[in-house]
């Protein structure tokens, strides 16, 4: 779970990231990553509020995402009794906005 993640990446990994051709794009995400990490650590398991949701719920997960995110999505859906919906067009931890909107509209229309 997220609580088992290290507080900081190893120096060698940080240096490798700095050398990556993707580094300039990663810098643009830096501020939101802090929030992502904070939320992930604070809410690494479903809490009572999530489990008390009575509305029909779907948990969306990208088709090709990090394994721990897929596992977390599956665990959340199972714990909530929710439908797990895979959005195959969403890859690499990047939601495809058109595909995600399509999936949401389909779920609302069929409710």
Q: Per the domain annotation, does 1 fall within a domain?
A: no
Q: In which band, very low, low, confident or very high, does the pLDDT at 102 lie, cut at 50, 70 and 90? A: very high
Q: Which residue segment(s) compose the domain that 36 sits in? A: 8-42
Is 66 in the same domain as 110?
A: yes
Report the number of distinct structural domains present in the chain.
Answer: 2
Is 59 in the same domain as 99?
A: yes
> With a threshold of 0.85, does the pTM exceed it?
no
CB 87 within 8 A of CB 60: yes
Q: Is the pLDDT confidence value at 2 over 50?
A: no
Q: Per the domain annotation, does 62 fall within a domain?
A: yes
User: Helix 11-19 to helix 23-42 angle, to the nearest 10 degrees?
Assistant: 140
Is 83 in the same domain as 107?
A: yes
Distance (Å, rounded) from C-alpha 103 to C-alpha 111?
Answer: 12
Q: Is the pLDDT confidence value at 1 over 60?
A: no
pLDDT tens per residue, range 41-98: 666 678 888 888 888 888 899 888 878 788 888 988 999 999 999 998 988 778 888 9
Is 35 in the same domain as 53?
A: no
Beta bridge partners of 87: 62
């Amino acid at each position: 779970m997220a609580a088992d993640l290290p507080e900081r990446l190893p120096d060698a990994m940080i240096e490798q990231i700095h050398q990556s051709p993707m580094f300039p794009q990663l810098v643009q995400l830096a501020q939101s990553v802090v929030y992502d990490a904070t939320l992930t650590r604070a809410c690494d398991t479903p809490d009572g509020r999530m489990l008390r949701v009575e509305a029909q719920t779907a948990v969306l997960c990208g088709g090709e995402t990090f394994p721990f995110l897929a596992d977390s999505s599956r665990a959340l859906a199972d714990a909530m009794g929710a439908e797990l919906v895979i959005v195959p067009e969403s890859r690499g931890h990047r939601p495809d906005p058109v595909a995600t909107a399509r999936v949401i509209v389909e779920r609302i229309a069929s409710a």
